[in-house]
A and B are shown apart, each in its own frame.
Chain A
Amino acid sequence: MKAKTKRNFAIQTESLSKHYGELKAVDEVDLNIPKGCIYGLIGPNGAGKTTLIKMFTGSLAPSQGSVKILNGTPGSPEVSSLIGYMPQRVALYGGLTIEENLDQFGGLYGLKDEELSEQKEKVLDFVGLKHRRKSILSELSGGMKKRVSLAVSILHEPQLLLLDEPTVGVDPELKVEFWRNFKKLVQEGNTIVITTHYLAEAERCDEIGMLYEGKLILEDSPEMVMEKTGTDGLEEAFVNIVKEVG
């Protein structure tokens, strides 16, 4: 029974905590994120979303508790090759072209020659930047850079995508395009964990986990959350729940 449970979850945490001195950035979070869905980690700025994502990628070690990513340890080479990560900032090499950036990250994930060329074509097509492949990254608009960042994170066909505030600073048109892309990726069998403080946007997720001051205060589908709180939007629901909790 237990083995079956493990197989069906992309991420499982138990009392996961990260403390910086007195500050509890993440406080005893128990999460079960199923495979094959878009899971939204939502909450205001400073709720602990990025810290949580960084513990999923392995770039931060937990102070307490445990986390399993695709049934493995975050940061281990096996797990690292299965996850794609899109940080909040663009985090790419501004002096290189789009294609050179893709080459760098393709190399890190062991893609080469034909496979790399194929994947580059595929992701550039996906984000609609085929015609700009030779452009220097720093010369692109903010939205285009975000698209390159997404392309880089899916280049190696990861099973799990961790997207940290992917739509911050993105215009409405591109936001719609991004969400269309996310849905497409999930239909292909991926799992996406997305953090956002735009609560209205989170209504597009299959499931959400609400974070507040480092604690997970609610985990359910957006519809159920709205139904339970008797609201017709996540923003209102969140405010009501926070009032209740604290």
Chain B
Amino acid sequence: MGKVNRVGSITKRILKELLHDRRAMAMILVAPILAMTVFGVALGGEVTEVEVAIVNNDVERKINDAGREIRISEEYIEILEDKDSLDITFLNEKEEAIEKVEDGELWAAIVFPADFTESIIEEGSSGSIEMNADRSDPQVFSEIISSLEESLEEMLERLDGEIERPMEINVTEVYGEGAEFSDFLVPGVIAFAIFLLTTLLTLLAFTSEKVNGTLDRLLVSPATEFETVLAYSIAFGIIGAVQSIILVSYGIAAFDLIIEGSIFIAFLVVSLLAMTSQSMGILLSAAAKTQVQAVQMFPFIVLPTFLLSGIFWPIQALPSRIRPLSNVLPPTHAAEALRSVMIRGWGLLEVLPEILTIVLFYLIFVILATLSLKLSRK
């Protein structure tokens, strides 16, 4: 009987403690729902709305003696347009389309040559499409290829055996020649690792400063709240730079990582991301009174980042409704900038928009973190 009482009293105490701790309760009830929602929404998706351009130079031809003049490319494009995997823009000039791919505005420029229909109907030859593609994201690239191939089959079915020629897709890689999935993945993993480690470490470190009373001591000294936040971000910027040097070097050695652009821009991006993440950590620490409460926030930071930052699969695979959410996560921009530098070989000027976005996040978080420290005096 004594044993039952002892076990019962401990069980009861644990449940009572939980009832007193609203945060822990919320954590137990809300976190699994959040996890299910985020995974369900983000994982189920296929790659859709990949931006491509079509330049159709095809010339009309009669496909049989009795028939009318047609452009087979039109049939083909009609089928392509029905697919939601591609978001097609029509352009007149091949050069313009390729330029847009080079600028990162489009994933591919698909060109139907003038003799497309002719070469298909002429015996002994085969039709071909030229495609200048950005292969820096292998999943996006393979989605384009499979859409083109599927549509081809459908078109052949529609033309009901009138055409038996094979058709070729001649791919020229604008970016990412020979890129593998690991080349796409590693920059994302770097961004993910730095963001999470830095955010969580700062969140814990700063909560400890609060709990131990050292923060109070810092703020009693002539050091201002802003100086404190700034000092933290410089320290974590340095740590981020060292981490990125280790990660990138390891990536090159272990995974034969492609580094087309300047490795120093990659280090800069990672350091900026680390600084942004630490100021976010300080901001979040405002909501934590103890280290336990800080740890309870982890899933709410990890899950959305993991799923919505375009780190493990492209943002194009997210439902279009929630895609804008990925833009408000700093690692999205860091991963994009890192891929552009590492796979596309872009320079500072080309990745400047992404870098400035990260800097903007940094400034916003620094201001909010400083304000949150000031508010703690009230």
Contacts and interface: CB of A to CB of B under 8 A. Distances in A.
Interface of A: 54, 57-61, 75, 77, 80-81, 83, 85, 87-94, 105, 108-110, 152
B223 A91 contact: no
B222 A59 contact: no
Contacts, number: 52
Interface in B222-276: 222-224
Interface residues of B, number: 14
Main secondary structure of the interface of A (DSSP, over half): loop
B377 A77 contact: no
B222 A87 contact: no
Contact of B377 (A75, A81, A93): A75
B222 A80 contact: yes
A93 to B, nearest CB: 6
B229 to A, nearest CB: 14
A67 B222 CA distance: 18
Contacts of B217: 85, 87, 91-92, 105, 152
B14 to A, nearest CB: 28
Contact of B220 (A59, A89, A90, A110): A59
A89 B208 CA distance: 13
B89 interface: no
Interface of B: 212-214, 216-224, 377-378
Contacts of B224: 77
B213 A87 contact: yes
A59 B216 contact: yes
B213 A59 contact: no
B214 A110 contact: no
Contacts of A58: 219-220, 377
B220 A105 contact: no
Nearest to A76: B222
Given A59-B377, A60-B377, A61-B378, A77 B213 contact: no
A177 to B, nearest CB: 23
A229 B75 CA distance: 107
A76 to B, nearest CB: 9
Contacts of B212: 89-92, 94
A91 B222 contact: no
A108 B222 contact: yes
A110 B213 contact: no
B202 to A, nearest CB: 16
7 contacts: A58-B220, A59-B220, A60-B377, A80-B221, A91-B216, A92-B212, A108-B222
A59 B216 CA distance: 7
